[in-house]
Every structure is written in C-alpha cells, then in structure tokens.
C-alpha cells in the first residue's frame, strides 16, 4: 500500500492479516502472486461453469473455473496464463487451443490486495475428468451461452450463490470479439 506503513497482525498457512498505520485492515495471500479465472466456451457455445461448496459463504457457488498462480512450491513465478491452463485442466478436464486475456482487476479492493486476471479460452478438448485436486469436490455445468442468466437465477432460487465474474467475463468476451451472439439479458 503506497504511502503507508503496513504491519502483519496475523499470518496463517495461506492468508496474512495486515494493518496500515492509519488503521485499515486487509488480507493478503501468503503463498500466491494472483488469481486467475477462465471463461471456457465449448465449440457448441456452452459455457463451462463450476460448482463447489465455499465455507466462507456457507453454500455452493456457481463460478468460472479459477485458482491461484504461484501457489505451488518451486513454481512461485508461474506465468498467469500457465496457471489458467493448469486450473482449467484440473477443474474441468479441458485444455484450450486459444487463450485471450480479458482483464485484470482487484477482487475486493476494500478487503484484499489480490488481483484476478480473467482469461477467455476456446478451442476446448476434453483430456480428463476434472473435478479439481484432492479436497475439492467440483461439479461441472455446461450451459448454453444464451441460457446463463436463467441457469444462474435458478441456482440462486435453490439457495446457491453466483460469482459475478461469470457475467463480467461473458460481457468482456463479447465486447472484445464484437460478437453478434444473442444477448444474455432479454
């Protein structure tokens, strides 16, 4: 944080709680250099979404495939796109031929210094089962691009949450490609 002194209040295995000299408290990752999220779309225009239980919110969350960069020992300088490729394969079992970086931004600027980089992945080939690594219980959903809004609304009605990055990534991909596909909001 520019212009202020920061002290560590608590450090755990994965997170560090910090405080500025002006009293602002925030969290930083102790073992990663950033986060990646992937908008993966199959050749038949289905969006690959993940569902997993997230303890901080106490329910299952519909998300883009995502994960951390630089969190593997001896791979701390892992390029973001390499982390995105790894996470896509681990969580969904897909590899992608085409990768485009859509944007990077803070995940929650008042809470953490973490940045999320969103990638757009196409030309998908199924190479594995997915489901995540040990301890993760990731369920996959293949949603027609034009049905994402109603799919997510239905999941919310069932008591799940939906990560807003799903909608942001779709909008960014459309804007970047000047796509003429149907709009999400009708």
Q: Among the listed ranges 11-20, 21-30, 130-139, which one has the minimum average pLDDT value?
A: 130-139
Q: Which domains does the chain have, with CATH numbers?
A: 1-30 (no CATH), 34-177 (3.90.79.10)
Q: Report whether pLDDT(170) > 80.
A: yes
CA atoms within 13 A on the CB side of 167: 11
Task: Work out whether the CA dihedral 92, 98, 102, 103 comes out positive or negative.
Answer: positive
Confidence band for 56, pLDDT divided at 50, 70 and 90: very high
Query: What local confidence, expressed as pLDDT, does residue 74 receive?
Result: 83
Confidence band for 132, pLDDT divided at 50, 70 and 90: confident
3-state helix, strand, coil in the chain (%, to 5): 20, 40, 40
Q: Average pLDDT for residues 21-28, to the nearest whole number?
A: 93
Query: What local confidence, expressed as pLDDT, does residue 185 receive?
Result: 40
Average pLDDT value over all residues in the chain: 91
Cα separation of 167 and 149, whole Å?
8
Confidence band for 2, pLDDT divided at 50, 70 and 90: low
- 77 vs 62, residue with greater confidence: 62
Query: What local confidence, expressed as pLDDT, does residue 100 receive?
Result: 95
Q: Report whether pLDDT(44) > 90.
A: yes
Q: What is the largest CA-CA distance in the chain?
A: 53
Q: Report whether pLDDT(177) > 80.
A: no
């Amino acid at each position: 944080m520019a212009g202020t002194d920061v002290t560590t209040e608590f450090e755990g295995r994965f997170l560090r709680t910090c405080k500025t000299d002006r009293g602002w408290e925030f969290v930083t990752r102790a073992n990663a250099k950033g986060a990646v999220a992937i908008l993966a779309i199959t050749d038949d225009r289905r969006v690959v979404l993940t569902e997993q239980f997230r303890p901080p919110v106490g329910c299952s969350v519909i998300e883009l495939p995502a994960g951390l960069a630089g969190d593997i020992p001896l791979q701390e300088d892992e390029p973001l796109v390499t982390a995105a490729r790894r996470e896509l394969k681990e969580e969904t079992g897909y590899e992608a031929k085409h990768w485009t970086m859509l944007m990077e931004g803070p995940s929650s600027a008042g809470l953490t210094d973490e940045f999320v980089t969103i990638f757009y992945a196409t030309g998908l080939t199924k190479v594995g089962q997915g489901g995540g690594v040990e301890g993760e219980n990731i369920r996959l959903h293949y949603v027609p691009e034009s049905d994402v809004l109603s799919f997510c609304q239905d999941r919310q009605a069932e008591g799940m949450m939906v990560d807003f990055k799903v909608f942001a990534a779709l909008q960014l991909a459309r804007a970047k490609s000047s796509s003429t596909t149907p709009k999400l909001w009708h």
